[in-house]
Chains A and B, each alone.
Chain A
Amino acid sequence: MRVHFKTTYDHDIRLFADARDALRYGLLVALAVALPFLLDDFLLGEATNVLIWAIAGMGLMLLTGHAGQPSLGHAAFLAAGCYAHAILMGRFGLPFAASFVLAGVIAGFVGVLVAIPALRLHGIYLAIATLALSILTEDFIVLAEPWTGGVAGMTAPDISILGMEIDRLGSPDSFYWLCLAVAVLVTLGYRNILRAPFGRALLAVRDSEISAQAMGVSPARTKTAAFGLSCMTTGWAGALMGHFFYTFNHEVFTVVISIQLLLMIVIGGLGSIHGAYYGAAVVAIVPQAINVARDWIAQVSGAGGVAIPGLEVGVFGLILIFFILFEPLGIHGRMTKWRVYFELFPFYRRDMFRRQKSYLRTERMR
């Protein structure tokens, strides 16, 4: 059992709780850096996929998990980042780094534009409004054909950083490292936001807007900033996604992707950075696991491969229902419980993570 004896206030907001924590994350990063030497190209592609989804998930996590604003429209910001990057780099010939950063800023700016009217909306209304936004984005991409290539789509330009060519298919190793670098930087930035006053303002707004106001936090400003940061991060993920898919059109950024992003962070665990990574891993693993299981069943039963369309979505839905019912805190919550169980053994109590239930009151009578 670890005892944290706090002697200064800095202890509460340090990046790592103690040296052991720092070592664990250091080892994790080292393993992640070494991954291209351990995996073949296919698995490395999957790992890259996980990283990109995790970056997008962190974007949504900031908004939904920490600021408490559910969004069913984050595919729109993925698209904004992806197309902005492709246009800036392909049309205007900007270098990769500048175009990449700008793409995120543009997506974040779009997010702020969306946030201003959305400030009036709460909970379910916000979810529906963002859902509509996501649907409109698909049509908008088709309509803005001169810029986006419409139905035919666009191809991602080649990346070259300091004379080094990075290509998703030609050099998967360096593309993976690029995504890893972005993921690590985003994670560090995210972690630092949470340590700063702004991060605590986010939590205050999530838990109660009225009490946040009483503490001198402006909900409107906090929510707008949360939208901006969240959409910026998601926009970066979109830019990387464009390189990952190489060619893309409006069908890549459907409303289904928006929904999947939200479901992903719920499975991972709302309100934790870890959750974005766990959720991304689940999203990447489920289709592969189904493929493996299908092959195995075909082998055992001796029959040919049975293809059930829609099975993937069904299994995903089932996993989600189990999590909502039995582990509302997601994978991260389960891991934390296990860790506490072992650290406190044998003093773990069943009700340690019990959440207070609240009776709902109508939103229509505020």
Chain B
Amino acid sequence: MEILQLIVSGLANGSVYGLIALGFVLIYKATEQVNFAQGDMMMLGAFIALGLGNDSQIGAPFWLACAGAILAMAAIGWGLERAVLRHLFGQPQIAAMILTIALGFLLRFAAGAIWGHDPLALENPVAGKTLRLGGTVLGLDEVATIAVTVVLTGLLYLFFRRTRLGIAMQASSQNQLAAYCMGIPVRRIHGSIWALAGATAAVAGILFASKGSIDPGTGFLGIKAFAAAVIGGFGSLPGALAGGLIVGLIEPFASRYLDAGYAQIVPYAVMLLVLVVRPHGLLAQVHAKKV
């Protein structure tokens, strides 16, 4: 039954990667910018929940702390778009890329200055509890992580498919000028998508911090989420989740069956392979232009 446990812990880790990757994809889908600070937003969301919820800090009830963190990160996401990224409107993609890298530096610095650089754990109701399924023992925190992720992805998928706002977001991504002409408030759309990405990042952060501990350097996890997003296909929400799960599953098996030095490079090697063979990911959304 060792394999099942490996699978579940892999899926749980993969869910977190998938959620961060979802944040990338959300922003990329709607604004055609890539948010290199998504991992750091995840880290900040976790720290806000921790600051509100932990007994040594403010000591609010867990659910209240989670809601507070999600709202706060949505506000921060919206604020970042409003204050900084909106000024990049109409500039090349690389400018946004570098700007978000710099924002990531700042968020990391802010978290380090407020909460210090030691690893901290988020106190939560599912920590340490286990779930017995037949002969296997599964961590409740891991199962909860997977469940939350699946639900959230489903909701986001429906949001992009069914709601007016979701479709407007897709339209503004495909062609900003045409979207303008159809009466879509492109800038406001960008603001709301950043808020949504911030909220997603907070959820990912809370899930990650519930399973283990976080420190300001946790944001570098974002790079792994990049691998996830690329494997699944930038621009595809189910793809992001699938990519996250693939990376999550590769990791425990690679470290179980490969030598120490090789295990950690496997996710990136897979990503490079996908980039070379199928540059737009497994669930690609690229269509040939019709002339």
**Is there an interface contact between A310 and B109, defined as CB atoms closer than 8 Å?**
yes
Does B169 count as interface, using CB distance less than 8 angstroms?
no
Known A133-B272, A136-B268: A321·B102 in contact at CB below 8 Å = yes
Partner of B109, one of A132, A143, A314, A358: A314
Does B151 count as interface, using CB distance less than 8 angstroms?
no
Partner of A361, one of B34, B174, B227, B264: B174
Of residues 314 through 362 on chain A, the ones whose CB sits less than 8 Å from some CB of chain B are: 314, 316-318, 320-321, 324-325, 328, 357-362
Interface SS majority for chain A: helix
**Is there an interface contact between B32 and A363, defined as CB atoms closer than 8 Å?**
yes
**Is there an interface contact between A128 and B90, defined as CB atoms closer than 8 Å?**
no
Residues of A within 8 A of B34 (CB): 124, 127-128
A-B contact count (CB 8 A): 151
Residues of B within 8 A of A296 (CB): none
Residues of A within 8 A of B102 (CB): 263, 316-318, 320-321, 324
**Is there an interface contact between B226 and A320, defined as CB atoms closer than 8 Å?**
no
Does A135 count as interface, using CB distance less than 8 angstroms?
yes
Known A125-B275, A321-B99: A361·B112 in contact at CB below 8 Å = no
Counting chain A CB atoms within 10 Å of each CB, which of B102, B109, B174, B234 scores highest? B102
Counting chain A CB atoms within 10 Å of each CB, which of B177, B227, B272 scores highest? B272
**Is there an interface contact between B99 and A135, defined as CB atoms closer than 8 Å?**
no
Residues of A within 8 A of B91 (CB): 328, 357
Partner of B108, one of A125, A133, A266, A310: A310
**Is there an interface contact between A263 and B174, defined as CB atoms closer than 8 Å?**
no
Residues of B within 8 A of A263 (CB): 98, 101-102
Does A70 count as interface, using CB distance less than 8 angstroms?
yes
* B125-133, B134-142, B281-289 - the one binding chain A: B281-289
Q: How far is the CA of A129 from the CA of B34 in the complex (A)?
A: 14
Closest residue on chain B to residue A358 by CB atoms: B90
Does A123 count as interface, using CB distance less than 8 angstroms?
yes
The digit string for B262-282, where 1 denotes a CB below 8 A from any CB of A, is 101100110110011001100
Counting chain A CB atoms within 10 Å of each CB, which of B91, B101, B234, B280 scores highest? B101
The digit string for B72-95, where 1 denotes a CB below 8 A from any CB of A, is 000000000000100111110111
CB distance from B112 to the nearest CB of A (A): 5
**Is there an interface contact between A132 and B272, defined as CB atoms closer than 8 Å?**
yes
Known A308-B113, A317-B103, A366-B288: A70·B261 in contact at CB below 8 Å = no
Closest residue on chain A to residue B101 by CB atoms: A259
**Is there an interface contact between B264 and A328, defined as CB atoms closer than 8 Å?**
no
CB distance from A117 to the nearest CB of B (A): 4
- Size category of the binding interface on chain A: 35 or more
Q: How far is the CA of A210 from the CA of B249 in the complex (A)?
A: 41
Does A121 count as interface, using CB distance less than 8 angstroms?
yes
**Is there an interface contact between A364 and B280, defined as CB atoms closer than 8 Å?**
yes
Does B230 count as interface, using CB distance less than 8 angstroms?
yes
Residues of A within 8 A of B272 (CB): 129, 132-133, 136
Does B106 count as interface, using CB distance less than 8 angstroms?
yes
Closest residue on chain A to residue B267 by CB atoms: A132
Closest residue on chain B to residue A326 by CB atoms: B87
Closest residue on chain B to residue A256 by CB atoms: B220
Of residues 119 through 173 on chain A, the ones whose CB sits less than 8 Å from some CB of chain B are: 120-121, 123-125, 127-129, 131-133, 135-136, 139-140, 142-143
Residues of A within 8 A of B265 (CB): 135-136, 139-140
Known A143-B261, A317-B102: A255·B235 in contact at CB below 8 Å = no
Residues of A within 8 A of B285 (CB): 364
Q: How far is the CA of A136 from the CA of B174 in the complex (A)?
A: 33
**Is there an interface contact between B227 and A362, defined as CB atoms closer than 8 Å?**
no
**Is there an interface contact between A365 and B287, defined as CB atoms closer than 8 Å?**
yes
**Is there an interface contact between A313 and B105, defined as CB atoms closer than 8 Å?**
yes
Does B117 count as interface, using CB distance less than 8 angstroms?
yes
Closest residue on chain B to residue A318 by CB atoms: B106
**Is there an interface contact between A121 and B275, defined as CB atoms closer than 8 Å?**
yes
Partner of B174, one of A117, A128, A259, A365: A365
24 A-B residue pairs with Cβ-Cβ distance under 8 Å, sorted by A, are A70-B97, A124-B93, A129-B272, A136-B268, A139-B264, A143-B262, A263-B98, A263-B101, A310-B109, A310-B117, A311-B109, A313-B105, A314-B108, A317-B101, A317-B105, A321-B102, A324-B95, A360-B32, A360-B90, A361-B175, A364-B286, A365-B286, A365-B287, A366-B288
> Which 10 A-B residue pairings sit nearest by Cβ, starting from the closest?
A314-B109, A317-B105, A357-B90, A320-B102, A317-B102, A359-B177, A359-B176, A117-B276, A132-B268, A317-B106
Interface residues of B (CB under 8 A from A): 28, 31-32, 34, 84, 87-91, 93-95, 97-99, 101-106, 108-110, 112-113, 117, 173-177, 180, 216, 223, 226-227, 230, 234-235, 261-262, 264-265, 268-269, 271-272, 275-276, 279-280, 285-289
